[in-house]
Amino acid sequence: MGMGCLRTIHTPGLVEAGCDEAGRGCLAGPVFAAAVILPPDFYDNSIDDSKKLTLKQRLAARQLIQHYALDWAVARVSNEEIDRLNILNASILAMHMAIKALTRATPQHLLVDGNRFKNFPGIPHTCIVGGDHTYQSIAAASILAKTYRDELMNELSEQFPGYGWRTNKGYPTKLHRRAIAELGPTPYHRLTFALLPQSKTKC
């Protein structure tokens, strides 16, 4: 589906919250997640999978989401917790934290991007592979999670300017890996991740 073709409702008659995460594949920084409840009659074709949007489009869409959503919340789990729990469990924990932080509306059904999730007490869920470009509420969650995470990585880049986080946001680019090899890991790196390609590790 392209922009403007996302579905608004999965199960008619239920208050649905879309859930998604950002930063799962990064070498550094926390994983963020968001939960968003949109009005059932709300639709705006500027809301789409965050990866398809420019920075300007994402920020404009975030303003729309935060203005019109019945409720929304963003949560994060630190790199230390990622190392302790593993990235899948940390991502699910971040989504659970975001759901718990919803205070203005109570979801009756969760739409979760991906194929893995743990039951949230009292609320049934549906996992949807590619949900961020299928359902508008999941796309909205992807936009919030990504924009808030990107802003944090920009801030952390000021503390650790050699790693290119302002542009790579902690993802494993060549520049990022080279900086780790030359400067070592920071307190924000995920030490259980392969920070350096195994084939390039020197004896």
> Mean of the per-residue pLDDT values for the chain?
94
pTM of the predicted model as reported, rounded to 2 decimal places: 0.93
**What pLDDT is recorded for position 198?**
63
**CA 114-136-108 angle, 5° bins:** 75
Q: Give the mean pLDDT of 172-201.
A: 88
Range of the structural domain that residue 38 is part of: 16-200
Q: What is the dihedral of CA 56, 61, 67, 72, to 10 degrees?
A: -120
pLDDT at 203: 31
- Let me know how long the chain is: 203
Radius of gyration of the chain (CA): 17
Q: What is the CATH number of the domain that holds 191?
A: 3.30.420.10
How, if at all, do strands 109-113 and 31-37 pair? unpaired
Quick one: pLDDT at residue 196? 84
CA angle 48–53–55, rounded 5-degree value:
130
- The tens digit of pLDDT for each residue in 23-76 reads 999 999 999 999 999 999 899 999 999 999 999 999 999 999 999 999 999 999
Cα–Cα distance, 117 to 175 (Å, whole number): 33
- Give the tens place of pLDDT for each residue, 92-128: 999 999 999 999 999 999 999 999 999 999 999 999 9
40 in any annotated domain: yes
For residue 10, tell me if it sits in a domain. no
Cα–Cα dist 35/192, whole Å: 27
Does any domain span residue 5?
no
In a domain, 151, yes or no: yes
Q: What's the domain count of the chain?
A: 1
The average pLDDT across 142-157 equals: 98
Answer whether residue 117 is part of any domain: yes
Q: Is residue 113 part of a domain?
A: yes
Q: What is the mean pLDDT of residues 150-177?
A: 97
Q: Report if residue 81 sits inside a domain.
A: yes
The percent of the chain in helix, strand and coil, each rounded to the nearest 5, is 40, 20, 40
* Per-residue confidence (pLDDT) for residue 202, from 0 to 100: 41
pLDDT at position 1 over 70: no
Q: How far is CA 153 from CA 63, 160, 161, 181, 198, in A?
A: 20, 10, 11, 20, 26
pLDDT at 2 over 60: no
**Calpha distance 87→22 (Å, rounded):** 11
The answer to the question of residue 189 being in a domain is: yes
